[in-house]
Structures are given as C-alpha cells and as structure tokens.
Chains A and B, each alone.
Chain A
Amino acid sequence: EAGVTQFPSHSVIEKGQTVTLRCDPISGHDNLYWYRRVMGKEIKFLLHFVKESKQDESGMPNNRFLAERTGGTYSTLKVQPAELEDSGVYFCASSQGLYNEQFFGPGTRLTVL
C-alpha cells in the first residue's frame, strides 16, 4: 500500500511569488490534514478535510493560504503571495477514520527568500 506522497519535496521561491503544494493521501482515507513545522519548532495544525469538505481550518495563518481538495482525493495548498515567515516544512497526513492514527507524508520544505 502506497503511503502519503507530497510534491514537490523542496521549493525555493522569492517573496511575493506563488507556490502550490500537493498531497496525495493513502487511497481510501477520507480524512486529510495539513500541518507545518517552522525552524525546529512544534508541528502545527493548519486544517482538516473530510472528503472534499473543510472540517476545521482554524490553524490557517491568514488568507494568503488556500487549501482545496477537489473530488475528495488529492489536496493542494497554495500560498499567494508568499512571505519570508512562510518558510518551513509542510506536512500532509491522512487517516481512514477520525479515531485512527494519522499517517504523515515526507513533507515539502518551502524556502521563501
């Protein structure tokens, strides 16, 4: 069974540019989560999808971040325009049910210069 995959693994962009991160959850997992880790700090929750619906987006930093999950399969996280403080590792996770543990992808390391 394939795990959670994320693309790209690394992205280096300049301040003001746009970046789109993609996450493919484990097949059959309705629950999809985005998290972010900034410079060795804690891994922080961003948002949670159940199928294509946003259940909880309380962790989204501001309206420069837009997450979508069309069709309830893969998800994208767009940052537009990117700021320096957006640098960090963005993790995606998925779970089969709400009470099952979350499986994490390898992350996308975003560097904003």
Chain B
Amino acid sequence: DQQVKQNSPSLSVQEGRISILNCDYTNSMFDYFLWYKKYPAEGPTFLISISSIKDKNEDGRFTVFLNKSAKHLSLHIVPSQPGDSAVYFCAASDSGTYKYIFGTGTRLKVLA
C-alpha cells in the first residue's frame, strides 16, 4: 500500500521549457514534503522541501507547490536544462517519525 505515488515513470521536456513533476499522497498525517534528485550510481540529493503550513516554496529554478486538500504536490523546473536529467523522488514524512516515505520516482529527460 503505497502512501506516496508518482504515477508518471518518465517525462521528456525540451531544454528551456517547464518541467512539471507530480506526486500524490494518501496519509493526512504527513506534514513535511521533499524532492530528491538522483543521478545513476549516486545517492539521492536533496533538492527542495515544503512544510504543510505553506503552499509554495521557491529556490532558484525550482518551485514546489503543495495542495493539501487534494493531497498533491508538484515540482516545477523553469527553465529546464540538460543537467536536470535525472530521476526525481518525492518524499513525505510526519513529525512524529521523521522517516521519509518515498515515491517510485520519475525519470526526467531534458532534450537539448
């Protein structure tokens, strides 16, 4: 029973355009959400996070949006660059446990 779902296994986007990666969750106790980026043969690298008290967090080209009523979050990358090509994992936690619950990942390919 997956509590965090990334329904798109892959996404291709042209360089310079916007990449939108989506994530849905089922556990209403989750109050902290993160995006990690993973290159082949490397560990996941923290990208951006958002607390449930916010609905948007921005860091340079990366913005995460949280819709609590829909239990949905998304990561926007603008503009997309070829170096952004990687697998992106959505993760969630609740402040009672601190363990991260990950989705299955979305492979983003940015075409030059």
Known: A56-B97, A98-B98. A42 touches B105 (CB 8 A): yes
Q: CA A78 – CA B41 in complex, angstroms?
A: 22
Contacts of A48 in B (CB 8 A): 98-99
Known: A33-B99, A56-B97. A41 touches B104 (CB 8 A): yes
Q: Determine if B18 is an interface residue (Cβ-Cβ < 8 Å).
A: no
Q: Determine if B77 is an interface residue (Cβ-Cβ < 8 Å).
A: no
User: Which of A11-19, A64-72, A103-111 lies at the interface with chain B?
Assistant: A103-111
Asked whether A104 lies within 8 Å of B44 as measured between CB atoms, the reply is yes
Q: CA A93 – CA B49 in complex, angstroms?
A: 17
Contacts of A84 in B (CB 8 A): none
Q: How large is the interface on B (under 10, 10 to 19, 20 to 34, 35 or more residues)?
A: 20 to 34
Asked whether A42 lies within 8 Å of B2 as measured between CB atoms, the reply is yes
**Number of A-B contacts defined by CB within 8 Å:** 55
Q: CA A42 – CA B104 in complex, angstroms?
A: 4
Shortest distance between the CB of B45 and any CB in chain A (Å):
7
Q: CA A103 – CA B97 in complex, angstroms?
A: 17
Q: Determine if A91 is an interface residue (Cβ-Cβ < 8 Å).
A: yes
Contacts of A104 in B (CB 8 A): 36, 43-45
Known: A101-B46, A104-B44, A105-B43. A42 touches B103 (CB 8 A): yes
Q: CA A42 – CA B78 in complex, angstroms?
A: 26
Residues of chain B having any CB pair with chain A under 8 Å? 2, 4, 34, 36, 41-46, 49, 89, 91, 95, 97-105
Besides A42-B103, A48-B98, A106-B41, 12 other A-B contacts (C-beta < 8 A) = A35-B102, A40-B104, A42-B2, A42-B4, A42-B104, A45-B101, A48-B99, A56-B97, A99-B98, A101-B49, A106-B43, A107-B42
